[in-house]
Amino acid sequence: MSSNRSIRSLVAAAIGAGLVLLGGCASGEGNVSSSASTASPAPSPSVTVRPPGAAELAAALPQGESLPGYSVNGEPESRTGVGTPDRSVRPAACRALQDARSGSSSTSVAEARVSISASTFAPPIETLTFTSHRPGGAASYLAAVDKALDACPSLSFLGRSGDRIRAEIERVPDRVSAGDASVSFEMHWALDVDGLTMETFSLVTAVRSGEAIMTVTSDSSVGSRLSAAKKRALVPKLDQALLKREADALRAAQDG
């Protein structure tokens, strides 16, 4: 009888040990499940800014007397679709710079522009352009301009009379305190006009706001006989207040 009791005790102990092991496994499985349930949720998709259409871009441009320190010359002009690159530019790798000067882009969705004049003596001829792009297009556009600036100390293009014009290119080092990213550069060339040599200084600034680009192009033409000091006084300069105001207006057109 004592032998039978010993056997029963051993069986009971084995069963108890098995139950303990099973309980431990169940507890471990419960911990894994709990850990999975409390893991950080997957990140929500990033919000894509909707590129504004031509009418929205035109409405965002300044009109009448709404631009401090400037006159707005006429009504905005707008269009839908991609721009037309200037294929006369040589080398072809520099084409992005002339396209930037015209506000044109092969990745654009829509465009609106207006002529403005600063309230100063002998103001340059200025054009303010808003261009919306396909998703990612605005960033790639600005990157192409930046790359071309590194590769192109000069370029040539065909003028209105069909003559080939050679322009010197120089990056503007001053930082533009507007938008998400920006690039600014100067172009300089000389032309004979009715026996007189005229020099043109062009300042081009492109600022990205979301999926859109604001471009301000300022052209100032002066006689080559002017002194260097007078030429410098007439060379277009960055207007940080204008750039900030219009970059904000372009951002608002996308947030609306």
Q: What is the mean pLDDT of residues 100-111?
A: 90
Which is nearest to 138 in space by CA: 184, 187, 181? 181
Indicate left, alpha or beta for 200 from its phi (over 0: left) and psi (-120 to 50: alpha): beta
The pTM (predicted TM-score) of the whole model is 0.79
The pLDDT value recorded for residue 103 is 85
Q: What is the mean pLDDT of residues 208-230?
A: 93
Residue 8 has pLDDT above 90, yes or no: no
Residue 3 has pLDDT above 70, yes or no: no
Q: How confident is the model at residue 256 (pLDDT cuts 50, 70, 90)?
A: low
Q: What is the DSSP letter of 51?
A: P
The pLDDT value recorded for residue 42 is 32
The pLDDT value recorded for residue 115 is 97
Residue 142 has pLDDT above 70, yes or no: yes
What CA–CA distance (Å, rounded) separates 70 from 67? 6
The pLDDT value recorded for residue 152 is 98
- For residue 76, the tally of other CB atoms under 10 A from its CB is 21
Burial of 2 (0-12, 13-18, 19+ CB in 10 A): exposed
Helix segments in the chain, DSSP class H: 2-37, 54-60, 95-102, 137-151, 228-234, 240-255
Which is nearest to 110 in space by CA: 183, 52, 182? 52
Count how many residues are written for the chain: 256
Which residues partner with 201 through β-bridges? Answer: 188, 220
Q: Tokens in use for 63?
A: 């009109």
* Residues 113, 139, 57: CA angle, nearest 5 degrees: 25
Q: Which residue has the tokens 């969705």?
A: 109
Q: Which of 3-7, 19-23, 161-165 has the lowest mean pLDDT?
A: 19-23
Q: How confident is the model at residue 40 (pLDDT cuts 50, 70, 90)?
A: very low
